[in-house]
């Protein structure tokens, strides 16, 4: 299952991130996972939220530049080498990682990871073949 992620272009100025989170909070949209990568002048905020379509509309209406992307959520065994096993599955199948980030869930046994790969559909198939647990949007919403 693929999860809709919003990537938001954010100027690297004081208060920009606060503005985005306030807009979402005022509309009762919860941020479930996030990552931010920055340069000197701007950053890319990647978020998974409870209502991606509505959040995308709200943020676009406020003048922000947004791109929706489909990503994969996986549950990784929270033990030494757990992430390595999943990354080896991708590498062994010539699937390149564009980026990834982790988030906190309710489980103390597994780590949750959002991953963007070169071919989502093929990665889902490979994950299924190798018993990598893919998490759904509904599962993310319930964490």
Low-confidence ranges of the chain (pLDDT < 70): 104-109, 143
CA 92 to chain centre: 23
Q: Give the tens place of pLDDT for each residue, 109-138.
A: 678 899 999 999 999 999 999 999 998 877
- Is residue 42 domain-shared with residue 90, that is, in the same domain? no
Q: Which domain holds residue 56?
A: 2-69
Of 69, 96, 123, the residue at which a domain comes to its end is 69
CATH of the domain at 77: 3.30.2130.10
pTM over 0.85: yes
């Amino acid at each position: 299952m693929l999860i809709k992620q919003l990537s938001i272009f954010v100027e690297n100025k004081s208060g920009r991130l606060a503005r985005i989170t306030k807009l979402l909070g005022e509309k009762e949209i919860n941020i479930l996972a996030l990552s931010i990568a920055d340069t000197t002048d701007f950053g890319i905020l990647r978020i998974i939220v409870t209502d991606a379509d509505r959040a995308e509309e709200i943020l676009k209406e406020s003048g922000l530049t947004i791109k929706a992307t489909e990503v994969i959520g996986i549950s990784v065994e929270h033990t030494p080498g757990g992430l390595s096993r999943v990354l080896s599955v991708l590498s062994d199948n010539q699937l390149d990682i564009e980026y990834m980030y982790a988030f906190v869930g309710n489980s103390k046994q597994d780590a949750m990871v959002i991953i963007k790969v070169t071919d989502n559909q093929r990665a889902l198939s490979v994950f299924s073949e190798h018993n990598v647990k893919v998490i759904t949007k509904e599962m993310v919403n319930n964490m």
